[in-house]
Structure 1
Amino acid sequence: MKVTVIGAGNVGATCANVIAHKDIVKEVVLVDIKKGIAEGKALDIWQTSSINHFSTRITGVTNDYLKTKGSSVIVVTSGIPRKPGMSRNDLIKTNASIVKEVTESAVKYSPDAVIIVVSNPLDVMTYAAFQASNKPHQKVFGMAGILDTGRYKAFMAEALNISPKDIHALLMGGHGDTMVPLPRYTSVGGIPVTELLNKDVIDKIVERTRKGGGELVDLM
């Protein structure tokens, strides 16, 4: 199995690194428009393979989509990142153009691939990739749900002083301020968190989850 990750920034490089370390695919190709960035990061990851005991071959390329041919999964992380004070929606015009271009380039060589979109604003970029790919909707996904759920569970675990693995949680809605965490469907060992935490604490966790991306942007 071959996976292409488009965009070798913090998110894309981390994604490629995690996939390689899990040793679940044969090959990862990291693509970026900036010369040498993807090659350097891929080489850095590959050189740890003997230490971390993985055999996934990871390579980097500069805007050469021929090298991505035959990918089963395409992960799109391309686009300009958020800066402090920016909302996800501030990125729409620029990132929609980027996502459209890279999606068209990638599906040309991997017409059967599943596409996973990470670029912000996530919901709009997923639709942009869907339109550019000409694929059925079952083959184009946005990763928002799992990220937002992960943040929500992490904050809950912190408040309860337990492992996030012990929390079952459900979120609905978009990736942003309109998301809807559902505390009444959040539980620990079958016990609703509404019986373990008071309403004020839960409300703060819900709000922090909604603003989770902005919190990271402000810190970095």
Structure 2
Amino acid sequence: MAKNSVGIIGTGNVGVAAAYSIFQRQIAGNLILVDRDHQRAEGEAMDLMHGQSLVGRVMVRAGDYADLADCSVIVITAGVNQKPGESRLELLNRNAAVFREIAGHLDRHAPDAVLVIATNPVDILTYAMQRLTQRPAQRVIGTGTMLDTSRFRAALGEYYGVNPRSVHAYIMGEHGDSEVPIWSSAKVGGLNLFEQTVNGRQFDAQAMERLFQQVKTAAFDIISRKGYTNTAIGLVIAYLVRVILEDQKSVLAVSVDPQGDYGLEDVCLSVPCIVGRDGIESRVAPLINDAELKGMQASAQVLRDSLKGMSID
């Protein structure tokens, strides 16, 4: 298997942003774009290839599922949009049908690849893909709350006047309205926000709640202005792909089945996990307080309710 080959299924706004981020950072030597609209995939590949003299030699081409055979990582951004008058369940079942078709092709042509799921609702579709594919569940990873966590750390960095890379804090649970900020273990430069003064500022519960609400509604705020979100999630996907290809064993908040952590199972939501070449190597379940535990349980129930009636077996 060519360890530097990456496939992207779906060349909409998110797929193209991911391709651009992977290309610009030279994360993969070979990038293969697959889309039902093959001409669109060809156009996106051609456009990126014209930047090689500025970035370096990265081969980008349009292909079909058979061309993904040598890929170590395959990113799935494909999905269908809601039709007028269509219920959420009907939309979920149409997306499940799309994923069933993709799973069949990938099991045939790229059975050993790690799959990165970025299509929304990402937790539901990660759960669906884990059941539709024949590969082990640890090789199917949803981007989950990686973006929410990045937004969270960026906002905390701005509030405390520090580089966001010095902030260690997670958003866990659903990538959506029931997501859970984990304040009890949030740190800046090793200092616990709950217990210590950071850069002259003490923990202010009201200010932190306002900050979290801004994080939670960030996607809606962006969509109301530009119609969609794509660049930040593209960076998230590229980062996750690099972690897998380089076997970094980084701890990331990604969507997985908790398998009993926090009393939760048979659902996919975000908990910190060690991620490497083989996908999820192990889950990291930080200690959380009672309020955060209730939030995680409520988040899991929201997702279980969404799964009711879905045809994914």
TM-score, normalising length: structure 2: 0.63
Alignment match, 2:32: 29
Q: How does 1:135-146 map to 2 (within 5 A)?
A: 135-146=135-146
Superposed, which structure 2 residues align to 1:144-183 within 5 Å? Answer: 144-183=144-183
Equivalent residue for 2:285?
Answer: none
Q: Secondary structure at the match of 2:141?
A: strand
7-16 or 192-201, larger mean C-alpha shift:
192-201
2: distance between equivalents of 1:2 and 1:31? 13
> Superposition pairs for residues 91-110 of structure 1, below 5 Å?
91-110=91-110
Query: Once structures 1 and 2 are overlaid, which stretch shifts more, 103-112 or 88-97?
Result: 88-97
Q: Specify the alignment match of 2:269 in structure 1.
A: none
> Which string of whole-angstrom CA distances, capped at 9 and with x for unpartnered residues, describes residues 171-203 of structure 1?
221211111111232221122334435212210
CA distance in 1, matches of 2:81, 2:221: 14
Matched to 1:76, the amino acid is I
Contact 1:91-1:121 within 8 A present in 2 as well: no
Contact 2:38-2:62 at 8 Å conserved across structures: no
The partner residue of 1:60 within 59, 62, 71 is: 62
Does residue 216 (structure 1) correspond to residue 222 (structure 2)? The answer is: yes
Residues 103 and 132, structure 1, Cα contact 8 Å, conserved in 2 = yes
CA distance in 1, matches of 2:104, 2:157: 41
Matching residue within 191, 205, 211 for 1:199: 205
Counterpart AA for 1:129: M
Higher relative contact order (CA 8 A, sep 6+): 2
SS at 2:15's partner residue?
A: helix
Gaps (5+ residues) in structure 1? none
List runs of 5+ in structure 2 lacking aligned partners: 228-313
1:209 to 1:172, Cα distance in 2 relative to 1, 3 A: same
Q: 1:89 to 1:209 in 2, by over 3 A?
A: farther
* Higher normalized helix content (fraction of residues): 1
Cα separation, 2, equivalents of 1:188 and 1:90: 44
CA offsets per residue over residues 141-167 of structure 1, 9 Å max, x none?
101132221111122223234322121
What does residue range 78-97 of structure 1 map to in structure 2 within 5 Å? 78-80=78-80, 91-97=91-97
Which of 34, 38, 41 pairs up with 2:41? Answer: 38
Query: C-alpha distance in 2, partners of 1:89/1:207?
Result: 27
Query: Residue 94 and residue 212 in structure 1: after superposition, are their counterparts in 2 closer, same or farther (change >3 A)?
Result: farther
Q: 1:90 to 1:191 in 2, by over 3 A?
A: farther
Partner SS for 2:219: helix
**Percent identity of paired positions between Structure 1 and Structure 2:** 31
1:8-30 Cα offsets, whole Å, 9 max, x none, are 01111111111122223221101
What do the CA deviations read for 1:99-137 (whole angstroms, capped 9, x no partner)? 222232223211111111000111110011112211111
Query: What's the RMSD between the two structures over aligned residues?
Result: 2.4
TM-score (norm 1): 0.87
SS at match of 1:144: coil
* Number of matched pairs: 215
Amino acid at match of 2:180: V
Equivalent AA in structure 2 for residue 209 of structure 1: V
Deviation at 1:89, TM superposition (A): 7.3
